[in-house]
């Protein structure tokens, strides 16, 4: 069993199948930054940047972006994707809970439920304590999480299959309501030659967080949870969404 995203990295974008509205998300982030007086050219952090889907979109909009991810394989894909479009952002291989930048940023984004991967007790507080040091006072932290509904109804103990060019993936879920942890066991069948496939496995785990837990961790570390939204365009939450979008502000001293 290999580490998180070591097998998935080359197939991550194709397996997503274009189901996530990165363009809408980036447009909404741009509008929110503009509304809050954060202009083009400002330095932003794309936390858990993965293959760089959001990194690249923000670069194209005229921001300076630092990408941080735990997976060197994902960062390798990110680097290639950005360079193919003529960009060479600073990319750092770091755990979110060990974040260490060279200075401050005006805002940070963290896409596709990466915050849910903070599974240890107190890790959400640790993340906010790190960001407290690197987001300028008045700056924003924008991220999305999988909701209690998604863990309990969509993931639960279900099995899903994904078929993309050159790879077939079986995704098995196991959600424990007591620990609020969801284990994902992924089995990949990767085409090596026509009719010949190599099998590889990968394990991942996410933690289900409540809005109260997020608000508390933010408050403990000089942030305020200003809004919880239901979609990439930051429409107000109605409590039924599978993914919530959170907007936090770094308090001024």
User: Which tens digit of pLDDT belongs to each residue from 138-183?
Assistant: 999 999 999 999 999 999 999 999 888 888 999 999 999 999 999 9
Q: How far apart are CA 136 and CA 115, in angstroms?
A: 20
pTM of the model: 0.93
Average pLDDT over residues 224-251: 96
Q: How many CB atoms lie within 10 A of CB 125?
A: 17
Bridging pattern class, strands 223-229 and 243-250 = antiparallel
Residue 67 is predicted with a pLDDT of 98
Q: Is the pLDDT of residue 1 over 60?
A: no
In tens, the pLDDT along 105-131 reads: 999 999 999 999 999 999 999 999 999
Q: How far apart are CA 147 and CA 209, in angstroms?
A: 7
Burial-class residue 131 by CB neighbours within 10 Å (0-12, 13-18, 19+). buried
Q: Say how many Å lie between the first and final Cα of the chain, rounded.
A: 46
Residue 10 is predicted with a pLDDT of 77
206 or 20: which carries more pLDDT confidence? 206
Q: Is the pLDDT of residue 14 over 80?
A: no
Whole-number average pLDDT of the chain: 94
Confidence of residue 17 (pLDDT cuts 50, 70, 90): low
Confidence of residue 18 (pLDDT cuts 50, 70, 90): low
Residue 193 is predicted with a pLDDT of 80
Bridging pattern class, strands 64-69 and 43-47 = parallel
Q: What is the dihedral of CA 25, 128, 153, 28, to 10 degrees?
A: -10
Residue 50 is predicted with a pLDDT of 94
Burial-class residue 63 by CB neighbours within 10 Å (0-12, 13-18, 19+). buried
Q: Which of 87, 85, 28, 76 is nearest to 50 (CA)?
A: 76
Q: How far apart are CA 239 and CA 235, in angstroms?
A: 12
Q: Tell me if residue 59 falls in helix, strand or coil.
A: helix
């Amino acid at each position: 069993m290999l580490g998180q995203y070591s097998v998935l990295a080359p197939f991550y974008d194709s397996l997503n199948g274009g189901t996530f509205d990165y363009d809408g998300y980036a447009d909404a982030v741009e509008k929110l930054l503009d509304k809050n007086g954060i202009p083009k050219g400002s330095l932003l952090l794309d936390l858990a940047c993965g293959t760089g889907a959001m990194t690249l979109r923000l670069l194209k909009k005229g921001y300076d972006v630092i990408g941080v991810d735990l997976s060197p394989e994902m960062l390798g894909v990110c680097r290639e994707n950005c360079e193919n479009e003529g960009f060479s952002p600073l990319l750092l291989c770091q755990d979110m809970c060990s974040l260490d930048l060279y200075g401050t940023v005006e805002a940070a984004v963290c896409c596709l439920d990466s915050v849910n991967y903070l599974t240890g007790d107190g890790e959400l507080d640790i993340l906010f304590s790190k960001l407290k040091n690197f987001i300028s006072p008045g700056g924003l932290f924008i991220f999305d999480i999988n909701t209690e509904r998604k863990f309990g109804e969509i993931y639960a103990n279900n099995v899903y299959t994904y078929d993309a060019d050159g790879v077939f993936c079986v995704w098995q879920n196991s959600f424990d309501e007591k620990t609020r942890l969801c284990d994902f066991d992924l089995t990949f069948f990767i085409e090596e030659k026509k009719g010949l496939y190599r099998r590889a496995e990968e394990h991942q785990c996410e933690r289900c967080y409540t809005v109260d837990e997020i608000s508390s961790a933010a408050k403990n570390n000089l942030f305020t949870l200003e809004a919880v939204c239901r979609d990439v365009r930051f429409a107000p939450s109605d409590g039924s969404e599978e993914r919530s979008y959170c907007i936090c502000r770094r308090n001024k001293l």
